[in-house]
Amino acid sequence: MQTTDMAPLHPDRNIALELVRATEAAAIRAVPFIGRGAKEAADGAAVDGMRAFLSTVDFDGVVVIGEGEKDNAPMLYNGEHVGTGRGRSYDIAVDPIDGTSLTAAGRQNALSVIAMSDRGTMLDASSVFYMDKLVTGPAGVGVVDIRLPIGENIRLLANALGKPVDEMVVSVLNRPRHEKLIQEIREAGAGTRLMSDGDVAGGINAARHDARTDMCVGVGGSPEGIVTACAIKALGGHIQGRLWPRDDEERQKGIDAGLKMDHVYEADDLVAGNNTLFVATGVTDGQLVAGVRRQGDYVYTESVVLRSHSGTMRRISSDHLVSKWL
């Protein structure tokens, strides 16, 4: 049978559903801990659920961004091989719960996330914990730049969107390190949406065509930046990042790992190529997806699948028999 240039990408259509099963499992396993103040227990249960399903998927995955690296977990660590080992080779980024504190407190926007790209295309930025990021939708491509003052970026994007500056909304993690940034956003005439956690959801919400926010900025996790980049490629949006080492020791650690300090990483630097998948299931309710809900004999989940090759965002709603999860 003659193959075409498109043929190698076809399996992604099927593997996406398999990855959804893994994020659903992680989200469902976290349910007993939502709002219970036990973020480590929630994370451990989600890790177990995700890993169990990933082990059944026909692909050869290597964890580039892993749970163990961030949270000292014994599974889904950087360098771990996941899947059956049969099929195509991929880089994998996993976060069984992006927003463990949100989950523990019962607050919005906690997600279970998997991102994937072809082997060797995903930047391993794990040696530097934080990254300064700028994310917008397609209107920001070639318009905004992380090196510019935030007020100028807001004005440039507002012009590209055809919106008054006073209707612009910018998402920022609510942290002491962002006090000056938040002040500058407001002084520019825009509004802020302060996030307690969950900057993956914040970045994706800023890039969606029907978003309530226009831009997501500020310092968040480096691993989350790579994960977000996989989703932004499917949405046709804009993402830039600069590593933000906390001290000289971490800065040197990043340099020793081959990372570039004081460098602006563009989307293709974060994740090369145009064959990325991003899958997320809601743990708690949020703008992107609804959280897990149990009612009677069923557990209900909502997930999204973003695929850069086709430029699609699909929603998957699932009803799960509780008896199958006990």
Taking the mean position of all CA atoms in its chain, how far away is CA 273?
A: 17
Are 322 and 299 within 8 A, CB to CB?
A: yes
Are 24 and 305 within 8 A, CB to CB?
A: no
Does the annotation flag 177 for ligand binding? yes
Which two three-digit tokens encode residue 33? 């801990």
Does the annotation flag 71 for ligand binding? no
Does the annotation flag 130 for ligand binding? yes
Does the annotation flag 186 for ligand binding? no
Does the annotation flag 198 for ligand binding? yes
Does the annotation flag 99 for ligand binding? yes
Angle between helical axes of 150-161 and 179-187 (0-180°, round to 10): 50
Does the annotation flag 98 for ligand binding? yes
Does the annotation flag 66 for ligand binding? no
Does the annotation flag 214 for ligand binding? no
* Residues 60, 228, 95, 25, Cα dihedral to 10°: -80
Q: Kindly tell me the sign of the dihedral angle through the C-alpha atoms of 224, 229, 230, 234.
A: positive
Does the annotation flag 199 for ligand binding? yes
Regarding beta strands 298-307 and 293-295, do their DSSP bridges make them parallel or antiparallel, or are they unpaired? antiparallel
Cβ neighbours of residue 244 closer than 8 Å, sequence gap 6 or more? 128, 130, 131, 132, 219
Does the annotation flag 118 for ligand binding? no
Does the annotation flag 95 for ligand binding? yes
Which residues are known binding-site members for Mn(2+)?
43, 67, 95, 98, 224
Which residues are known binding-site members?
43, 67, 95, 98-100, 130, 175-177, 197-199, 221, 224
Which residues are known binding-site members for substrate?
98-100, 130, 175-177, 197-199, 221
